[in-house]
Amino acid sequence: GAGVSQSPSNKVTEKGKDVELRCDPISGHTALYWYRQSLGQGLEFLIYFQGNSAPDKSGLPSDRFSAERTGGSVSTLTIQRTQQEDSAVYLCASSVGGTANTGELFFGEGSRLTVL
Amino acid sequence: GDSVTQMEGPVTLSEEAFLTINCTYTATGYPSLFWYVQYPGEGLQLLLKATKADDKGSNKGFEATYRKETTSFHLEKGSVQVSDSAVYFCAPRFYNQGGKLIFGQGTELSVKP
């Protein structure tokens, strides 16, 4: 597609349920990033993929959070046993990787997660 | 470690006022520097960037100069408009950290007519 696509745009779930958030990056972008934006706070880095590998998972807040990327394209962020503090907007971004990297990250519209 | 510090908001200005939003960083290398903007109800979008020392990024009347000696990338605009009301994020990109952006906490700007 023309831009980074995320789904669902809105998700309301009950505490303790699992959720999956999907990101479809710009075609040809090998680097993919997940960030979290909580109300009144900045953007918190979660995880970075280069191709299907995740060389930097340092921002995942707990082992309830995991992410994968398949075919060097679509990525899924999974949150198990959701807690109320997981409520946030989850943003995905992609960029050209490797030596062609011009630096800009392109962001999706985000998935707003509300845990009741 | 590598980090970024951004001027806190909210900032409220009258139309046509001068705007400065301060941003400084600490880094072991030389990051690329970005300003992103988030308009109400919209996603993050790139405002401007600079990739090396003394570069000046500019867009929509906004400017920022990569100052290596002061490790700063302050955002400026000479005459703000109501339509500039948004949240602005300074974001260095540290290549020794996989190229991820580290975002400042964001500065909310409100421009009154």
Rounded to a whole number of angstroms, the CA Rg of chain B reads: 14
C-alpha distances out from residue B60 to A3, A80, B20, Å: 22, 42, 15
Q: Which residues 35-64 of A have a C-beta within 8 angstroms of B? A: 35, 41-43, 45, 48, 50, 55-56
* Percentage of the residues of chain A whose pLDDT score is greater than 90: 78
- Per CB-CB distance under 8 Å, the chain B contacts of A57 are none
Coil, strand or helix at B40: coil
Coil, strand or helix at A84: helix
Tell me the pLDDT tens digit for each residue of B1-42: 788 999 888 999 999 999 999 999 998 888 889 999 999 988
- Cβ separation of B103 and A95 shorter than 8 Å? no
**Tokens coding A4:** 């980074």
- Cβ separation of B89 and A107 shorter than 8 Å? no
Tell me the pLDDT tens digit for each residue of A91-111: 999 988 764 465 788 999 999
- Per CB-CB distance under 8 Å, the chain A contacts of B97 are 56
Is the pLDDT reported for residue B96 higher than 80?
no
C-alpha distances out from residue B40 to A15, A42, B33, Å: 29, 15, 23
pLDDT for residue B95: 73
Chain centroid to Cα B12, Å, comes to 17
pLDDT for residue A99: 47
Low-confidence ranges of chain A (pLDDT < 70): 1, 40, 98-102
- Per CB-CB distance under 8 Å, the chain B contacts of A106 are 46
- Cβ separation of A104 and B45 shorter than 8 Å? no
- Cβ separation of A103 and B51 shorter than 8 Å? yes
